[in-house]
Amino acid sequence: MTTLAKNCKSTVIPGLRYRNAMEMIAWLCRALGFEKQAVYAGPDGVVMHAQLTFGNGMIMIGSVNSGTPASKLMKQPDEIGGAETQAAYLVVTDVDAIYASARNAGAMMVIDLEEKEHVGRAFSCADPEGHIWHIGTFDPWESQQA
C-alpha cells in the first residue's frame, strides 16, 4: 500500500484538454453531472486550469493551447483517428438519468446502455470533442467490502 497519498478526497485526478474548454466545462456539468470547483481563464477564454468535481472524484481541464508545457504533450482524439489512450469511468447510482442527460446533451453513444455481467449497468459515450467516458453502476470499492 502506498504512503504517498495525502489526506484528500481523491488521489488520482485525470487531466483533459479541450479546444473549447469553457464550452466543454458547461457541457460536462450539464450532461454528466460534474460541478465546477474552480476555473482559471484569461480574458480570451483560454482555460489555464479548471477543477470539476464528481462525488469524491475530480478532473482537471485546460485549453488545448494554454501555453503551458503540458499543452505540447497531449493530442486530441480527432488528431489520432478518434482514438483515446485513456478514458475515465464514472460510478453513478442512477445510470438511466445520466444516460438520458448525456444523450440529450448530444453525446455520441459508443457502447449503448446495457446490463454487464456481474458489474451492473453501464454505457460509454464520446463528448462533443471526442473524449470517451464510461459510466456505470459498478463500484469497485463496494466489491472489495463483500
Domains (ranges, CATH) in the chain?
Answer: 15-72+84-145 (3.10.180.10)
| Torsions phi, psi for 2 (to 5 deg) | -75, 150
Coil, strand, or helix at residue 101?
A: helix
CB atoms closer than 10 angstroms to residue 124: 19
- Blockwise average pLDDT, block size 10, the chain, 146 residues: 57 90 98 97 92 94 83 88 90 95 97 90 96 94 66
Q: Which pLDDT value is given to residue 1?
A: 44
